[in-house]
Amino acid sequence: MPSPYEDREQTEVKHRVLERYLEAFIPIVGDWADDITYIDCLAGPWESVDPNLGDTSFSRAIKAIRSTREILRQRGKRPSFRCLFIEQEPSRYARLKQYCDQITDIEVHPMNWDFMDHVDDVVRFALERGKGSFPFIFLDPTGWEQLDIALVSAILRLNPGEVLINLMTSWITRFLSDESKHWDRLVGSDLSKLVSLQGEEREDQLVRSYAAKVQQTGQFSYVCTLPILKADQDTFHYHMIYGTRHQRGVEVFKDVEKTVIPFMHETRAQAQQRRRIANTGQYSFLPPGDLYRESRFSRFRQRNVEQAREEVRALLDSKTSIDYEAAWFKAMQYSAVSERDLRDWLESWRTEGFLKVVNLLPTQKVLSKGRNHILQWIGNRQGP
């Protein structure tokens, strides 16, 4: 039976990010929160082909809530769960409401709203249960107007609270030179710099600029991003932007990244094989992964590794000493950068005599968080 995500594998990857994060996020927050609130501000359903709507963001979220609720109950924790699902278009809203009407074990509120006119209502819903509530907000528009920083600023400032935003970079970069679209509402004064760039540089900078605006406006301690490739082209379709005020959130998001990136490549490999068969009528004995082709993500990762390395080196150079955790959280905000990358840089600098590691016991082969490993930069001020 064909997957309901066939020919839109990028949507499946996006939903996998959301579901995997909620599966990790809810058990952590549920240990102390009295109420967990999930809000999908632009719920759809969008292009769903599953009659049961299992290929939608709200269905995947409900699935995650149900599975993690049982984990919490086994620990003796019973926070309440509330969901707010918003959809403006009448026919899509009718399908959304029909789905929600069948849910009896979770408090679910479908609303036929234009999100842009009801931001204050979203904030009121998030705050309804008081300080013991923790809201998680998902913003997944098909365009960009709903991501106007001024428009969503009150949502970003919800504290406690976290956000996951889908930035449709493939569409935005095409029209960035169109002055009538007021792109400054997304990136502020960075717009002139963005317009001067081309291709991948423009897209990468767009993500950095918008993520910085999200971080600044919401006063998030950390913002992580994750690009998602198109199913049928070697280009990014969109970038997921995640804002959190807690180190644990970064750790969880990086764990999600570790599973989602291989999943993305796997689904694209299968899509490529399906198209080869459709175009040639010839089947291959080789598995899809052996014939898989991509270069965009590899180039992106290489640039991020280089930028993260320089950020960590600059941090070391500016301080007398830092703990390993500070270097870890600085580097891990760069998508596709791994802890192994960080350890390789630090070991290289240590071998070259630029770095001293304090409190690394002879029995400890690698640097790790939670072991009081202190990094001291002793190289020249120019760095390696």
Q: What is the pLDDT of residue 376?
A: 95
In a domain, 290, yes or no: no
Mean pLDDT (the chain, rounded) = 93
In a domain, 111, yes or no: yes
Which domain CATH number covers 106? 3.40.50.150
Compare 285 and 31 and report the one with higher pLDDT: 31
Q: Are residues 171 and 313 in the same domain?
A: no
pLDDT digits (tens, 9 = 90+) for 183-211: 999 999 999 999 999 999 999 999 999 99
Q: In which element (H, E) is residue 376 found? A: strand 374-377
Residue 382 pLDDT more than 70?
no
Q: Are residues 230 and 124 in the same domain?
A: yes
Q: Yes or no: say if 74 and 30 are a contact pair by the CB < 8 Å rule.
A: no
Taking alpha carbons only, the member of 238, 189, 241 closest to residue 220 is 241
Q: Are residues 230 and 322 in the same domain?
A: no
Q: CA separation (Å) from 19 to 55, 64, 100, 260?
A: 12, 6, 18, 11
Taking alpha carbons only, the member of 195, 201, 256 closest to residue 228 is 256
Q: How confident is residue 285, by pLDDT bands cut at 50, 70 and 90?
A: confident
pLDDT digits (tens, 9 = 90+) for 173-188: 988 888 888 999 999 9
- Quote the domain boundaries for residue 369: 300-377
Q: Are residues 106 and 244 in the same domain?
A: yes
Work out how many domains the chain is built from and give that number: 2
Distance between CA atoms of 74 and 215, rounded to whole angstroms?
Answer: 35
Give me the mean pLDDT over the 15-34 stretch.
96
In a domain, 36, yes or no: yes
Which domain CATH number covers 308? 1.10.10
Distance between CA atoms of 226 and 165, rounded to whole angstroms?
Answer: 10
Q: What is the pLDDT of residue 9?
A: 92
Q: Are residues 43 and 122 in the same domain?
A: yes
Helices and strands per DSSP (H, E), number in the chain = 13, 10
Tell me the whole-structure pTM to 2 decimals.
0.94
In a domain, 172, yes or no: yes
In a domain, 276, yes or no: no
pLDDT digits (tens, 9 = 90+) for 289-312: 788 889 999 999 999 999 999 999
Q: How confident is residue 220, by pLDDT bands cut at 50, 70 and 90?
A: very high
Q: Are residues 39 and 151 in the same domain?
A: yes
Q: Are residues 25 and 121 in the same domain?
A: yes
Q: Yes or no: say if 198 and 206 are a contact pair by the CB < 8 Å rule.
A: no
